[in-house]
Structure 1
Amino acid sequence: MTADDVLLTADADGVRTLTLNRPKAYNSLNVELKERLLAALREAAEASEVRAVVLTGAGKAFCAGQDLKEHVGLLHSGDDAPLRTVVLHYNPIVRTIVTMPKPVIAAVNGPAAGAGAAFAYACDLRLAAASANFLMAFAGVGLGPDSGASWTLQRLIGHGRATELMLLGRAVDAAEALRYGLVSEVVRDDELAERTRTVAAQLAAGPTVAYAKIKEVLGTAAASSLEEALAAEDVVQTALASTADHREAVEAFVAKRKPEFRGK
């Protein structure tokens, strides 16, 4: 890994941090970065030593979305790659984030637009720097939403606000994002990295097998009836009741000590 890599990877205390690293282009997504990010997310999902994942950007931006310079060049060349990037890149990236059996945190260090914002929406938690903002830029370039934004955004902030932001292309700053519930916390720019490390380390030290099941049952319940959600909760709770982490938590509670979770 070098400073010239479009994606930087770092591991510490069970946390894998993936940093989009095209700061001069506001971490916009060219083919190389999309392919590298998808591969890295899939690897993190499978790696037993990785217990939580952080996604962030280098420089002043989180991610400006599609690299339009590359995009228009490919369109002019007659290459059909721009027409296939949703199915080849964006859909698999978001699917991997949402279904990953471990927590994923977006550390939104600056502007997040288009697919970049949608990647943040797909994460389990969003921590934002005060300079961050979110922009659904799709209509402005004559396109509709992709990267799961039509599914994630309205679940985060409601159908009406999601429609407004999609149609008007209005940027939402960090303070408004916090009021909407789009992010869980806003901190000073110079505090974001440390705050993210603290939250990620807390999750990595927790009952990660339970986190995976929580993500699973929330996903099921989002598109289910009450009865279907109750049934899904029963299946999950029955499975988790037999885990070593559950036994450890109960024993630690009785013994009045801090539990040591192993993700098993």
Structure 2
Amino acid sequence: MTDYEMILTERRGDVLGITLNRPERLNAAPPQMFDEIRDALDALGDARAVLLLGAGRGFCSGADVSASAARDGEPGDATHKALSDHYHPTIQAIADLPVPVVSAVQGAAAGIGCSLALAADFCIAGESAYFLQAFVNIGLVADGGASWMLPRLIGRGRAMEMLLLGERIKAERALEWGLAYRLVPNDVLENEAWMFADRLARGPTVAMGLMRQQVAYGMSHSLAETMEREAENQRAARRTADATEGGAAFLQKRDAEFKGA
């Protein structure tokens, strides 16, 4: 795999693992880190699932734009540039992926780190995990797509609670609200996340990718438009080898062996 300064990449079977690797800073993310994540996603190759992890005690404690802000002058312009050119394109790249995505969170998932964790299709949380939108505490506004994600994940009321109060949502509450898919002990988090990502990677990942896209499409389009998109995607899915295999396995009463094609 490619060598990076701020992330580690690992391929296990059909799963691409991407680990944020600044544990001494709780994986606070400079723009470069998100550029590296996007580069790793661009090099997805034949991987059939992606797993996002954080090294050390935290997933990601938020953006680290201090260096670029000092270099680029006016803080507002520097932050706008960092979001527009680095952080937001990476969140969008995750949304556009043709394969399922899992995040594994222990400790802090704050600010842009919260958005990164929740951009996954499934978030598996360790017992120490917490999710935080602390922007209001420093006079800033949510970014990283949080204003779009949170109301859709947990409803407007809970989204406003996170955004306007700026308090930690701990793991158990995150599970109750639907921010996290599963809650596990910290010491088994990484293993559980890899196994779950592998389970997804062994599925009909072409169809899964199409479903990711049509769910996002349906959030901003009418029922009629969404059903039309479903029909188009069903036509594409029906033409895959996985659909043929799935139908044969059903008739033969056996487990399907999907190849992601």
TM-score, reference length from structure 2: 0.94
Counterpart mapping for 1:125-204 below 5 A: 125-204=122-201
Residue 256 of structure 1 corresponds to 253
The answer to whether the aligner puts 1:32 opposite 2:29 as a matched pair is no
Query: Tell me, what secondary structure is at the counterpart of 2:94?
Result: helix
- How far, CA to CA, are the matches of 1:78 and 1:236 in structure 2? 44
The answer to whether the aligner puts 1:11 opposite 2:11 as a matched pair is yes
User: Does the 8 A contact of 1:75 with 1:82 survive in 2?
Assistant: no
**Which shifted more, 232-241 or 108-117?**
232-241
Query: Tell me, what secondary structure is at the counterpart of 1:63?
Result: coil
**Which shifted more, 52-61 or 235-244?**
235-244
**Which shifted more, 153-162 or 2-11?**
2-11
Residue 225 of structure 1 corresponds to 222
- How far, CA to CA, are the matches of 1:69 and 1:182 in structure 2? 29
Q: Which amino acid aligns with 1:37?
A: I
CA spacing shift, 1:77–1:84, aligned 2, 3 Å = closer
| 1:15 positional shift | 0.3
Q: Identity percentage over the alignment?
A: 39
- How far, CA to CA, are the matches of 1:131 and 1:150 in structure 2? 25
- How far, CA to CA, are the matches of 2:172 and 2:224 in structure 1? 37
Query: Tell me, what secondary structure is at the counterpart of 2:43?
Result: helix
Q: Which residue of the other structure, out of 121, 125, 130, is the alignment partner of 1:124?
A: 121
Residue 21 of structure 1 corresponds to 21
Q: Which amino acid aligns with 1:215?
A: R
Q: CA-to-partner distance for each residue in 1:198-240, whole Å, 9 max, x for gaps? A: 1111111110100011011101111111111211111111221
CA spacing shift, 1:229–1:71, aligned 2, 3 Å = same
Residue 70 of structure 1 corresponds to 67
Runs of 4+ more than 3 Å apart: 1-5, 71-83
Query: Tell me, what secondary structure is at the counterpart of 2:226?
Result: helix
The answer to whether the aligner puts 1:234 opposite 2:249 as a matched pair is no
Q: Which amino acid aligns with 2:179?
A: L
- How far, CA to CA, are the matches of 1:160 and 1:191 in structure 2? 33
| 1:70 positional shift | 2.8
TM-score, reference length from structure 1: 0.93
Q: Which amino acid aligns with 1:41?
A: L
| 1:78 positional shift | 7.7
The answer to whether the aligner puts 1:86 opposite 2:62 as a matched pair is no
| 1:5 positional shift | 3.3
| 1:143 positional shift | 1.5
- How far, CA to CA, are the matches of 1:14 and 1:229 in structure 2? 30
User: Does the 8 A contact of 1:74 with 1:82 survive in 2?
Assistant: no
User: Does the 8 A contact of 1:126 with 1:182 survive in 2?
Assistant: yes
Q: CA-to-partner distance for each residue in 1:170-213, whole Å, 9 max, x for gaps? A: 11000000010111100000111111111111111110100011
Aligned length: 261
- Mark the runs of 5 or more structure 2 residues left unpaired by the alignment: none
- How far, CA to CA, are the matches of 1:226 and 1:259 in structure 2? 32
CA spacing shift, 1:141–1:76, aligned 2, 3 Å = farther
Q: Which residue of the other structure, out of 202, 205, 210, is the alignment partner of 2:202?
A: 205
User: Does the 8 A contact of 1:213 with 1:236 survive in 2?
Assistant: yes
Q: Which amino acid aligns with 1:248?
A: E
